[in-house]
Amino acid sequence: MQFTVINPASGEKLRDYPIWDAARLDAALTLTAAATPAWMARPLDARAALLRHAGEVLLRRRDEFAALMSREMGKLIAEARAEIEKCARCCAFYAEQAAGLLADEPAHTDAAKSYVTYQPLGTVLAIMPWNFPFWQVIRAAAPALAAGNTMVLKHADNVPGCALALDQVFRQAGCPEGVFQTLMIGIPQVDGVIRDARVHAVTLTGSERAGRAVAGAAGEALKKCVLELGGSDAFVVLDDADVKLAAEVGAKSRYQNAGQSCIAAKRFIVAEKIAAAFLREFQARAAALKPGDPLDENTSLAPMARIDLRDGLHRQVQDALTKGASALSGGAPLAGKGAFYAPTILEGVQPGMRAWSEELFGPVALVIRVRDEDEALRVANGSPYGLGGSVWTRDAARGEAFARRLQSGSAFVNGLVKSDPRLPFGGIKQSGYGRELARHGIREFTNAKSVWIA
């Protein structure tokens, strides 16, 4: 059994990686279990220093890791470099802030002294996707390790090189053996790892289907889990918006990473009054995208990560078109080698179409015209997902009031929805539960212990 890595831009086979057998997996879990008590007991400032070193390793090897991402899952090289830099900033953030974020909290009770202290749970299993192969892992690992947990990683099958590179980052940073380990295992082995007594909590970024499976196994084992699942983010353009700016940022949000982001803008909900002007600007930007080798600095449209993912996206688009929607641009795979899909804009998508209720994980945008702000809010909140969303208006107070009513884990006014170590990240409804990043993320996998002293 092995993982076979295919370059999504060319279709070329890159490398095979062997999948571990049960004995190799057991040895790895035993190693992490042995390393966990000492890591939990290590002073927080010493753990923070190792995180700082991890950030330095990431920056030192930035170009190497960026090229690896581009080859394995097709990310544009400039976007890949930016991802590595963001990972380094996250490590630095927790290295600097962990002590304050985890500080004991005094409580005024009938005791002479009482407080809440935050203590690590043990080993966290991280199940991570391919679309941001370094960032998804680091944003979970940095707070978990800072808090005193150890981590074992099950990465996506198509980015094993990135998974092993993350192992190298933490080893080169000076982490003791077993504190962070990549498990080279297949999906059928994951359920057993979740249920293993040497694993104490689980974090997953992935699909709704994967979230249900992981939550079910973790629930049966009575283990804490955090789920960051799909999204169908609303990008609401009100009638007083700066149309050119909204179209510029909207195109970037929808088409960067070939549209393969859970917090990409997916549903463009536009006031009828300015819809024609918005579409002219938006279509021009989609038409200007240039597919090609993601390692070429001039390429602006990356391939999708796999051919099967591209074909699945096309089936969703075809379902909408056969049921009455129209393609203002694109609507089909691009001819030639690789997993490229044309930048697509669909209009006339209605309930009953797959594109209305499902996440479109690729370079396809839905444009939905609405009469007024109230209808925009109803449509935005009508999704089964609730990860992120944005609203565009020249009136900041109006935008803030609208953002507070969006049913989502994040709401941005006149800005690109993004994750930031200083803000909690996660969703509601079918986008999952729990939070990563900021104070909320570092405390997710801790025991909030009450201490009472007479």
Catalytic residues: 228, 262
CA distance 303 to 10: 9
Which residues does residue 224 pair with via DSSP β-bridges, in sequence order?
201
Residue whose C-alpha is closest to residue 173's, from 201, 197, 198, 145: 145
Largest Cα–Cα distance in the chain?
A: 75
Of the CA atoms within 13 Å of residue 227, those in its CB half-sphere come to: 26
Whether residue 385 contacts residue 357, with contact meaning beta carbons closer than 8 Å, is answered with no
Contact yes or no for 335/188 (Cβ under 8 A): no
CA distances in angstroms from 278 to 246, 268, 269, 394, listed in the order given: 8, 10, 11, 15
Do 182 and 3 contact (CB within 8 A), yes or no?
A: no
* Tokens (6 digits) for 389: 């969303």
Question: What backbone torsions phi and psi does residue 154 show, to the nearest 5 degrees?
Answer: -105, 105
- Distance separating alpha carbons of residues 164 and 182, to the nearest angstrom: 6
CA distance linking residue 353 with residue 294, whole number of Å: 32
Is the Cα dihedral 118, 119, 125, 130 positive or negative? positive
Tokens of 407: 């049913």
Beta bridge partners of 301: 291
**What span, in angstroms and rounded, lies between the C-alpha atoms of 453 and 111?**
6
CB atoms within 10 A of CB 11: 13
Closest CA to 300 of 313, 287, 291, 308: 291
Q: In angstroms, rounded to a whole number, what is the distance separating the alpha carbons of residues 149 and 91? A: 15
Which residue from 425, 32, 438, 356 is spatially nearest to 205, judged by alpha carbons? 425
* 172 touches 57 (CB < 8 A): yes
Residue partners of 55: CB distance under 8 A and separation at least 6: 87, 88, 89, 90, 91, 92, 95
- Report the alpha-carbon distance of residue 287 to residue 335 in Å, rounded: 16
